[in-house]
Amino acid sequence: MKKCLVILVSVCLCSVWLVLGLGADAQAAPKTIKISSVLSLTGKMSGMGTQIKPSYEIFADQVNAKGGIYVKKYGKKIPVELRVLDDESDGLKTQTQLEVANSWGAVANLGGLGCGSFEMGTPICQKNKMVWVGPGCGGWMPHQLGNEWLYSIFFKTPFFSPLVFDMIQAQPKPWPNKVAIFEINQMDAAEAGLYWKQAAKMKGFKLVYHKKYLAGTKDFSAMITGAKAAGAEILLAYPLPPMGPAIVKQMKELDFSPKVVYWHRAPEGAKFGSGLGELADYVHVPCAWSPDLKLPGNDYVIEQYKKKTGKKEADLIVGTAYTAFQVLAAAIEKAGTLDRKAIRDAVRATDMETVCGRIKFTDQGWAKDRLIVVLQWMGGKTNIVYVNEHGKKYGDKVPVKPLKWQPKWSER
């Protein structure tokens, strides 16, 4: 009898300890998972940030409708609390806002698009040991500096720069051959210029004009006249969003119509096509996502984006932004905790299909073997006119339309 009593007391004590332990875990579970997003909602890069914000909100709403992200440590799903902070397209303010996010208690940060904020912001994430998952910036250099907290969904300059020449040589002959480069004084543009020159030489193209310009430039007439006089048939550039329409309008005024206009950044802006109308036709832009992709989940993203913004078409950064959140949410669940380092390690180990295709990171934090498409503006929308080797494995899920050389302005 005495022995049974001892066993009963022991069982009761264990039960009490178990209940207390579970209670402690439940009590420790936060009400929300705090995730920050420092974006450029105003200033020169706002055309990018205003595409990204609704995408993040769509994913957060989708996750929260299912109860949140499951966190093993607490044995339950926890809703996401997304706090969006505007850096006003200013890298120094990116740093300030990341400190705000750190003080608020964000477990991770979702980045924006723009190498100014990207380059200035990542050292703060490194200092605060908060992982940054971003949809944009082609800059290669930040990933070479030993930053262990920076992860980018976007492709990098060594890989997308030669793509223009691959695209041209995939077309029926004769090919345009003479290349002009308009290079803005920014790190990622300088990288792209370097790899453009290297690839042009290797693939048998001729560089006939190369001019650098400042970020505040408004008059491009001297460059346009110089490229035209040199007989340029291919124009490569990396303009900021407000500069893209200005260059196109001045090209028309000066009757400069190279067969290929292949630009990064500006043609992705939310107002590029709508602002230029038919003047945007024939402009190419390499992208990590297109609303024409038939990959699982895209129909939902596009439908929700249209509903949320009232737009007729989904903008070009919508999918990459959604993918960044997909990756982060999966990493939090895999980590099973809200510890920042554990989340960072889970992001690093990412290997998953997304609305942008498969995402895997190198140890330096850039997405490798990415699906890349080249889009061409035509009739107020973009068409996929080329897909890289990694994208071809998706077959007809990446529908490709014929590329069209730009005619003379008088023939349009």
182 and 196 co-located in one domain: yes
Read off the tokens for 250: 């001045």
Distance (Å, rounded) from C-alpha 48 to C-alpha 46?
5
266 and 309 co-located in one domain: no
84 and 212 co-located in one domain: no
46 and 163 co-located in one domain: no
* 23 assigned to some structural domain: no
Read off the tokens for 182: 């308009």
* 9 assigned to some structural domain: no
* 7 assigned to some structural domain: no
* 333 assigned to some structural domain: yes
* Main-chain dihedrals φ then ψ at residue 193, nearest 5 degrees: -60, -45
139 and 242 co-located in one domain: no
Residue by residue, pLDDT tens for the chain (412 residues) are 444 444 433 444 444 444 444 444 445 899 999 999 999 999 888 888 888 999 999 999 999 999 999 999 999 999 999 999 999 999 899 999 999 999 999 999 999 877 677 778 888 999 999 999 988 777 777 788 778 899 999 888 888 888 999 999 999 999 999 999 999 988 888 889 999 999 999 999 999 999 999 988 999 999 999 999 999 999 999 998 889 999 999 999 999 999 999 999 899 887 898 889 999 999 999 999 999 999 999 999 999 999 999 998 898 999 999 999 999 999 999 999 999 999 999 999 999 999 999 999 998 899 999 999 999 999 989 999 999 999 999 999 999 999 999 999 999 9
331 and 377 co-located in one domain: no
Helices and strands (DSSP H and E) totals, the chain = 14, 16
132 and 52 co-located in one domain: yes
Domain that holds residue 310: 30-156+294-360
How many domains would you assign to the chain?
A: 2
Q: Does residue 296 contact residue 45 with C-beta atoms inside 8 Å?
A: no
Specify the CATH number for the domain of residue 310: 3.40.50.2300
Which residues is 283 bridged to in the sheet? 261
* 404 assigned to some structural domain: yes
257 and 400 co-located in one domain: yes
268 and 394 co-located in one domain: yes
124 and 186 co-located in one domain: no
Q: In sequence order, which residues have a C-beta less than 8 Å from that of residue 179 and are 6 or more positions away?
A: 196, 200, 205, 206, 207, 208, 209, 232, 233, 234, 236
Q: pTM score, two decimals?
A: 0.89
Which residues is 92 bridged to in the sheet? none
* 14 assigned to some structural domain: no
238 and 354 co-located in one domain: no
* 24 assigned to some structural domain: no
The secondary structure element, H or E, covering residue 222 is helix 221-229
277 and 212 co-located in one domain: yes
C-alpha distances in angstroms, 113 versus 30, 91, 195, 348? 30, 12, 21, 20
Q: Does residue 402 contact residue 310 with C-beta atoms inside 8 Å?
A: no
* 122 assigned to some structural domain: yes
